[in-house]
């Protein structure tokens, strides 16, 4: 393990605080846990898994933002 026990506890606490209640929390926590606990060069995690998950989440947020902007535009037009 790269981190000692006290370091892992501090890291887990900081990840929980910055991502608490967020859709991102599970992805970030898994990514940091896996990347910070690489046992050897022959056991490196597959980064494409994390890339795919993060890309899907970003795309969902962009889609939601576009939808919100469209709804706002329609509301403004209906008011006038």
Closest CA to 79 of 65, 71, 69: 71
The pLDDT of residue 24 is 67
Q: What is the pLDDT of residue 1?
A: 44
pLDDT in tens, 21-52: 566 678 888 888 888 888 888 888 888 998 89
* Three-class secondary structure of residue 15 per DSSP: helix
- Domain spans in the chain, listed from the N-terminal domain onward: 1-45, 46-80
- With contact defined as beta carbons under 8 Å apart, do 36 and 2 qualify? yes
Spatial distance between the Cα atoms of 12 and 44, rounded to a whole number of angstroms: 21
Contacts within 8 Å (CB) and 24+ apart, 77-80: none
**pLDDT attached to residue 59:** 85
**Do residues 3 and 36 make contact, with C-beta atoms less than 8 angstroms apart?**
yes
pLDDT tens-digit map of 44-74 = 888 899 889 888 888 888 888 888 888 888 8
């Amino acid at each position: 393990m790269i981190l000692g026990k006290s370091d892992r506890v501090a890291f887990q606490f900081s990840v929980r605080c910055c991502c608490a209640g967020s859709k991102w929390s599970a992805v970030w926590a898994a990514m940091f846990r896996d990347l910070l606990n690489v046992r050897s060069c022959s056991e490196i995690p597959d980064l494409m898994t994390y890339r795919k998950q993060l890309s899907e989440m970003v795309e969902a947020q962009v889609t939601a933002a576009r939808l919100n902007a469209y709804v706002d535009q329609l509301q403004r037009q209906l008011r006038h």
